[in-house]
């Protein structure tokens, strides 16, 4: 019995002990939760706020990007729109003067302006989330260019090493195939919308797509220019450089200015016309001499005679040999201009007068009287011409109509273009509708458009030892070979730098990468719609675009000119810079 009671007492004491132990533990846990839970709640709240803010900021940023895109496509929409922007004209809706809400998540606005440099456009896009709590701004600068690279192909392009290219990339919308000596040259950059073969180890557009130095597959080749051939053809027709051909012409009639006017008072240069100052007016015969004086005339005076008056009314008295009434009662004298001389039509000149003007005399004057014009004397001449190289007004000295038909040659042939000293430096557009072959002494400055095939034989002679402007970023084409040494390529002044000009041929054959005669075949742009076959020299400062194939063993070095401008039907914009900036404070 006693043992049972003792056991129960021990059990009760154990239970009380455990209950006393749990209570402090529970209290401690509750206190810990009271500290942790509010902190966790605040952390969750802050995290939510940050997430919401980040989402709002991201939305605003995306809208700002869309705003830049909208401005970009607006400028590209037409050549006339770009021309307005380039001239400093504001585009309605693109001066932060409109807010667009066509995209989910918020609104945006756009600012478009010319600059900061010539041929550049600045586009600023600002985006704001729907609640208006976040605003982001992006500024992008684009350059308008019509010639994107030294050699451009709308399809495939073969780089064999027979054409050496400096200062600018070669690019193609299809594959670029590198072979021959070009595999070891390692310049310029090769940019392909598809694949650069065999430099790309995958042989397709799968990564890796570039070595970041020489070649880029799956490259975002910019939109290619659409040349305005109609405008270029009209330009060639105006300068007499359309469809030139070596043909025998029976005769050609042209008009030239002869005996130009030597007088400074002629409105237009004229023939046999001199000018001098004289007096003309209603009282004078047109074109004749006339002098005028101020005299007194009236009913009391003899017309044109000498008469002077004083006083007024009844007290007015006139005196002089010209007065009919010396007391002048009830009459009087008035002052007017009186003209004398063989050129006067009215000697008393009452109510009239003379004014100074310029008079012309001579058989070449259109009008010998007041404000005369002097017209140019003209003379027509017909000559028999054999072997004419090109139908040009510059060649004959006046407007020319050629009898060979202009567009009559299908396989045109032109010899010794360089010998046309009056035409080769004029930066004309030379245009052939069909095929043409150049032979002999070649070389000229201008835009060359051949819609068919072009063949070049002979030598290039233009601009020997010419000083050529060099693109500021020309060094980018040589990143795989560039070191601190100089003259590794033309205009090389060290690692990642180049001079602004280069004297053609000054660094030698090794530096230029091929044979150099220190002269050019074309100073400008060459477009060939068909095939280009060169068996002679055809160095180019500018760029070359060939739709067909390029063949032949002739020397062809291309020095890229990034400043080329050609008439196009579209606007090509290249992105120069892109950065986020502080939003404009002007109200939305």
- pLDDT means over runs of 10, the chain (588 residues): 55 54 78 79 74 85 96 94 92 95 95 92 96 94 90 81 85 89 90 93 88 92 88 85 68 46 45 48 45 53 55 59 49 51 47 49 50 47 49 46 53 84 87 90 93 91 90 94 94 95 88 74 93 86 87 82 91 91 93
| DSSP 8-state assignment for residue 477 | G
For the four alpha carbons of 233, 236, 241 and 247, in that order, the dihedral sign comes to positive
Among candidates 422, 450, 415, which has minimal Cα distance to 436? 450
SS3 of residue 276 by DSSP: strand
C-alpha–C-alpha distance, residues 550 and 151, integer Å: 11
> What pLDDT, on the 0 to 100 scale, is given for residue 51?
74
Residue 96: how many other CB atoms lie within 10 Å? 16
> What pLDDT, on the 0 to 100 scale, is given for residue 71?
96
- For residue 169, what are its two tokens? 């990339």
> What pLDDT, on the 0 to 100 scale, is given for residue 7?
54
For residue 235, give the H/E element and its range: helix 229-239
Residue 396: how many other CB atoms lie within 10 Å? 21
SS3 of residue 439 by DSSP: strand
Among candidates 429, 522, 524, which has minimal Cα distance to 231? 429
Residue pair 450/548 in contact by the 8 Å Cβ criterion: no
Q: Please, how many CA atoms are within 13 Å of residue 196, restricted to the half-sphere of its CB?
A: 29
Torsion angle, alpha carbons of 367, 371, 374, 375, to 10: -70
SS3 of residue 74 by DSSP: helix
Give backbone dihedrals phi and psi of 563, rounded to 5 degrees, phi first: -100, 10
Residue 500: how many other CB atoms lie within 10 Å? 11
For the chain, what are the domain ranges? 12-145+575-581, 151-245+406-571, 282-353
> What pLDDT, on the 0 to 100 scale, is given for residue 4?
56
Query: Helix axis angle, 79-86 relative to 2-76, nearest 10°?
Result: 90
Q: Could you tell me which residues come within 8 angstroms of residue 274 by beta carbon, excluding any fewer than 6 positions away? A: 261, 262, 263, 360, 361, 362
């Amino acid at each position: 019995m006693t043992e049972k009671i003792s056991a129960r007492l021990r059990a009760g004491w154990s239970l009380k002990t455990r209950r006393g132990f749990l209570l402090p533990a529970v209290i401690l846990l509750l206190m810990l939760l009271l500290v942790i839970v509010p902190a966790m709640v605040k952390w969750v709240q802050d995290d939510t706020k940050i997430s919401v803010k980040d989402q709002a900021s991201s939305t605003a940023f995306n809208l700002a990007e869309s705003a830049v895109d909208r401005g970009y496509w607006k400028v590209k929409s037409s050549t006339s729109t770009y021309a307005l922007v380039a001239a400093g004209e504001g585009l309605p809706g693109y001066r932060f003067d409109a807010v667009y809400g066509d995209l989910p998540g918020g609104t945006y606005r756009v600012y478009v302006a010319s600059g900061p440099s010539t041929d550049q456009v600045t586009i600023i896009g600002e985006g704001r989330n729907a609640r208006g709590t976040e605003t982001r701004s992006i500024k992008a600068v684009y350059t308008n260019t019509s010639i994107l690279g030294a050699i451009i192909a709308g399809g495939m392009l073969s780089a064999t090493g027979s054409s050496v290219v400096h200062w600018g990339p070669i690019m193609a919308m299809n594959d670029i195939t590198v072979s021959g000596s070009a595999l070891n040259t390692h310049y310029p950059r090769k940019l392909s919308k598809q694949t650069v073969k065999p430099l790309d180890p995958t042989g397709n557009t799968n990564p890796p797509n570039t070595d970041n130095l020489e070649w880029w597959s799956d490259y975002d080749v910019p939109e290619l220019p659409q040349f305005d051939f109609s405008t270029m053809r009209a330009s060639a027709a105006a300068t007499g450089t359309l469809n030139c051909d070596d043909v025998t012409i029976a005769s050609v009639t042209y008009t030239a200015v002869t005996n130009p006017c030597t007088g400074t008072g002629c409105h237009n240069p004229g023939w046999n016309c001199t000018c001098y100052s004289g007096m003309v007016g209603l009282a004078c015969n047109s074109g004749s001499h006339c002098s005028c004086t101020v005299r007194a005339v009236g009913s009391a005076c003899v017309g044109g005679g000498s008469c002077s008056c004083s006083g007024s009314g009844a007290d007015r008295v006139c005196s002089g040999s010209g007065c009919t009434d010396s007391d002048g009662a009830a009459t009087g004298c008035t002052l007017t201009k009186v003209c004398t001389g063989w050129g006067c039509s009215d000697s008393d000149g009452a109510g009239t007068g003379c004014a100074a003007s310029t008079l012309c005399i001579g058989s070449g004057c259109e009008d010998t009287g007041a404000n005369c014009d002097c017209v140019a004397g003209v003379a027509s001449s017909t000559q028999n011409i054999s072997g004419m190289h090109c139908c040009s007004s510059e060649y004959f000295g006046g407007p020319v109509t050629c009898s060979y038909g202009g567009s009559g040659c299908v396989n045109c042939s032109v010899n010794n273009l360089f010998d046309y000293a009056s035409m080769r430096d004029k930066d004309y557009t030379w245009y052939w509708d069909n095929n043409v072959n150049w032979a002999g002494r070649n070389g000229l400055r201008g835009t060359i458009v051949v819609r068919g095939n072009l063949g070049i034989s002979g030598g290039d002679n233009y601009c020997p030892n010419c000083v050529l402007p060099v693109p500021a970023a020309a060094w980018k084409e040589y990143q795989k070979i560039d070191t601190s040494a100089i003259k590794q390529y033309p205009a090389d002044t060290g690692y990642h730098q180049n001079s602004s000009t280069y004297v053609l041929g000054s660094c030698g054959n090794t530096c230029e990468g091929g044979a150099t005669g220190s002269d050019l075949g074309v100073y400008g742009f060459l477009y060939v719609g068909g095939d280009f076959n060169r068996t002679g020299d055809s160095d180019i400062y500018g760029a070359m675009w060939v739709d067909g194939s390029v063949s032949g063993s002739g020397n062809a070095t291309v020095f890229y000119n990034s400043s080329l401008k050609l008439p196009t039907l579209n606007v090509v914009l290249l992105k120069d810079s892109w950065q986020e900036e502080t939003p404009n404070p002007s109200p939305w």
